[in-house]
Structure 1
């Protein structure tokens, strides 16, 4: 019970810090490439970290509203090591699964991986990576109005969806 209370307090403090920083207008010392979602939309950012010494991966995601206000975050640890792209795709798949379960929609998924971004709009291919991409496409189709955005040299490039790949 002490661990749960401690984690809840840390979560609350982090949430307060994220929101107070936004509301007071303190300069953001983080990566300036992040951009806010359009009004009425939510921005999802995901990430993955690999630790070969413990044979594990850390996956995480953050959800913010169109004002940049922190709404939710989640992380998980998975035993096993995948490639970097597979780990990123697993994180995105888990995040979309979680969003689907909450019933939220109008999501902008921002990513920095051209490989993953373009894989979401290309023909299916047989590999572990391809199967994970197919899972993402399936989850995205079950959520109202999901858009995938590629973060490219300080600008966001909206996707060009191929026929048969509506999200």
Structure 2
């Protein structure tokens, strides 16, 4: 297996952080152990390795008065199609997940109240699975999920 990854981070203005990455993975087997599950199935690709992955996002932070700051951000994660099994009999579609958050914190970062959402588009797909019989056991991408956290740093 070999791959190439590009990661970029930028702060074009005070308080705004931009980030992105893209990865290409050549996930082909170079050789297989004769008699192994992958060899018997004539598998070509490593399990759980997507050929393409990408992430893009931003975070913005701004002071509110003398003691508070507001933070907000979001990101998009993409994973291309991949096989979930070593013998390549369970291929999963690629998926895209969009997450975001908004937070209110003290400027010394002692306290923070954070509201976040994951999978905001509520995409329905599978991210893993095993073939132990029929039908296969599949792991779904978590549905849209909302969380509220209160953090205290001591």
TM-score where L is the length of structure 2: 0.27
Larger-Rg structure:
2
Answer 1 or 2: which has greater helix percent.
1
TM-score where L is the length of structure 1: 0.26
Answer 1 or 2: which has greater strand percent.
2
Higher RCO (C-alpha under 8 Å, 6+ residues apart)? 1
